[in-house]
Amino acid sequence: MVLLMLLFFGGSLYMSIRISRKKENADGYMTGGGKIGFGISAASMTATWIWASSMYASATSGYTYGISGPIHYGLWGALMILLIYPFGRRIRKVAPKAHTIAEVMFARHGRSSQLMLAGSNVLGSLISLTSNLIAGGALIAMLSPFTFTQGIVAIAIGVLAYTLWSGFRASVLTDFAQVLAMLGAVAIIIPVIFFAAGGPDLFVTGASNLTPQQGDFFSSDAFFNQGAPYIAAVLAYAIGNQTIAQRLFAVREDLIKKTFITATVGYGATIIGVGMLGVIALYAGVQPMDGDVNNLIPQMAATYLSPLLICVFFVMIIGSLSSTADADMTALSSIMMADIYGQNIAGKKNANPKTMLLVGRLTMVGATAAALGFASMQFNILDLLVFVGAMWGALVFPVIASFYWNRVTNVAFSVAVIAALAAFLPVRFEWVDLSGGLGIVSDVLSVIGIGVVLALMSFGFFGLKVAIGVGAVSIVASAPFAIGFLHTYPVLSGSLVAYAVSTIVCVAITMLNKTRRFDFELIKQRTGEFDTAETEIMIETESAIKNAEAAGDGALAGKDA
Amino acid sequence: MELILMAAYVLVWPVIVIGVLAVIIRAFVKDAREAKREGRQII
């Protein structure tokens, strides 16, 4: 295991050194200059979206909900990437040289909108980083003589070492090698475990281990508990995740569609495939070690794979968590560089690219230390994740509307997000009794939320008229079934209420704006490269003045002596 | 018949994964050749 880790992180470090420059460029550090080709961008998008937790969760879904479980996890996760691409093209069109979506929100609305989005991005990336360290530490503790703490420290140092100097450029290049390792391992491990566990006969011998719902491909249990909440979260996770936005701003503009489609198929097949290990475990009657379903995948590997293939499996998991962890580090650093330092402290015109790079690198070190702290404390990140997910859900409509509708204002954006969060919390955590009239109010809002989600999905591909039609039909069609019933699923209801309230409030306040219209061309002027020829000249001049002053002081000091 | 369909349901995903892998590798090689021809780094 030690040798494998050394090979993996040593190889990644070697690749990173090969492309490193003594003098890195701030824009390259954040987005690679915005001209990345299809091969690297597709590999990077796929590798980043596949994280260790998604592999574990898909297998858990297969084990818990049976044969449809992996589909209800992996398919909707894959659609997140696909459904965001039409919006991605629009975002790139209005802000071709931006680095983060929060930076674009600053250009569109102002500080409060930017900080809401940046804050949720920072929390999300920190949670993801922590979660990846925990997954790696647990795996190392299970498959090697090392402890959990030693495991998380080794992974954190390994990822930081190859990402720190070149940032995003190192992250995407190493993603290519990591995706080769991950996808290659998936292609080998799934059939090997399937046949080792009994092959097709397993579906006969193990059929009695399944409940009727687990054996049903159209299980309502799987849909309402796993699939539906995930569909509701599809747009929220894609909009709220800076790692996706960063790759959107990095890929060559004409390659966005190809990249997103390839990543959709790659992610879907990999995660659904790994989820099949949970289905196989269910048929084989495997009991999760210590009752923890997160142990299922390592347990299946340890039971059915040869020592050589266990090494391949180990590389698959380490690859998945490293590729996402380095993406989280670069996402955090670009938010601190562009949104906090670039836009809020120095200002776009006065931002010094050298200082930006320092801010980015210090952020990576700080974020890694924080994630290590959370991981070692076994900090319960689940509640925080639910909250961040809700915040992203509340942001979806205001963010998307801001890119298309020139009447949306900063007040409409900010009030809509806060109102949606205020409505989400009591529903999601059942702080109020939903069995009476409030339950009906929650259901009505949830039904509107269904309409909003499906309308937004259609809007990206087919435009406003189709979207309004789809939204209206969904509301009418779902109302008779959902009202009086949906509030019994608080996870789903909470998300849908957040969508509905943010949309209603945002539209209502926007309609009050009768006079002001936003010119989208302004976004291009207000966002853009930090490392330009102008800033280069400015820095060189400042440096020359400082040197001259220092030389003068030295000469003076000499005289005094 | 049902057994074959179930086995196909489990095994189709690794096959798709291999297809995606082939697309990514081909595109990467093309990117690398272009970068070399133009005398620049791939990223």
Residue range A254-293, pLDDT digits in tens: 999 999 999 999 999 999 999 999 999 999 999 998 888 8
B19: closest chain A residue by CA: A266
Contact indicator for A176, A40 with CB cutoff of 8 Å: yes
Contact indicator for A178, A345 with CB cutoff of 8 Å: no
8-state DSSP, A342: I
* CA A536 distance to own-chain centroid: 33
Q: Which pair of structure tokens corresponds to residue A149? A: 């703490």
Q: How far is CA A225 from CA A159, A280, A490, A492, in A?
A: 35, 21, 10, 8
| pLDDT reading at A383 higher than 70 | no
SS3 of A194-260: the string is HHHCCHHHHHHHCHHHCCCCCCCCCCHHHHHHHHHHHHHHHHHHHHHCHHHHHHHHHECHHHHHHHH
| pLDDT for the residue numbered A555 | 45
Q: Which pair of structure tokens corresponds to residue A66? A: 């049976």
Residue range A127-174, pLDDT digits in tens: 889 989 988 898 888 888 899 999 999 999 999 999 999 999 999 999
| pLDDT for the residue numbered A280 | 97
Residue of A272, A280, A282 best to disrupt the B interface, most CBs of B under 10 A: A272
> Please, what is the end-to-end C-alpha distance for chain B in angstroms?
49
Distance from CA of B11 to the nearest CA of A (A): 6
Higher pLDDT, A239 or A32: A32
Ordered structural domains, chain A, with CATH: 2-379 (1.20.1730.10), 380-518 (no CATH)
Q: What's the CA gap between A449 and A486, in Å, rounded? A: 12
Residue range A54-100, pLDDT digits in tens: 898 899 999 999 999 999 999 988 988 888 889 999 999 999 999 99
Average pLDDT, chain A: 90
**DSSP state string for A144-170:** SSS-HHHHHHHHHHHHHHHHTTTTHHH
Flag whether residue A266 sits within 8 Å of chain B, measured between CB atoms.
Answer: yes
Domain range list for chain B = 1-43
Nearest to B14 among A32, A173, A191 (CB): A191
* Reported ipTM: 0.96
List of chain B residues whose C-beta atoms are within 8 Å of the C-beta of residue A67: 6, 9
Inter-chain contact B24–A204, Cβ cutoff 8 Å?
no
Q: Residue A36, SS3?
A: strand
| pLDDT for the residue numbered A561 | 30
Residue of A17, A29, A40 best to disrupt the B interface, most CBs of B under 10 A: A40
List of chain B residues whose C-beta atoms are within 8 Å of the C-beta of residue A266: 17, 20-21, 24
Mean pLDDT value of segment A433-452: 93
- Quote the pTM value: 0.89
Flag whether residue B1 sits within 8 Å of chain A, measured between CB atoms.
Answer: no
Residue of A31, A186, A316 best to disrupt the B interface, most CBs of B under 10 A: A186
- Which residues lie across from A159 on neighbouring strands? none
| pLDDT reading at A294 higher than 60 | yes
Residue range A467-514, pLDDT digits in tens: 999 999 999 999 998 999 899 988 889 989 999 999 999 999 999 999
B1: closest chain A residue by CA: A200
| pLDDT for the residue numbered A399 | 95
In degrees and rounded to multiples of 5, residue A112 shows phi and psi of -65, -40
| pLDDT for the residue numbered A469 | 98
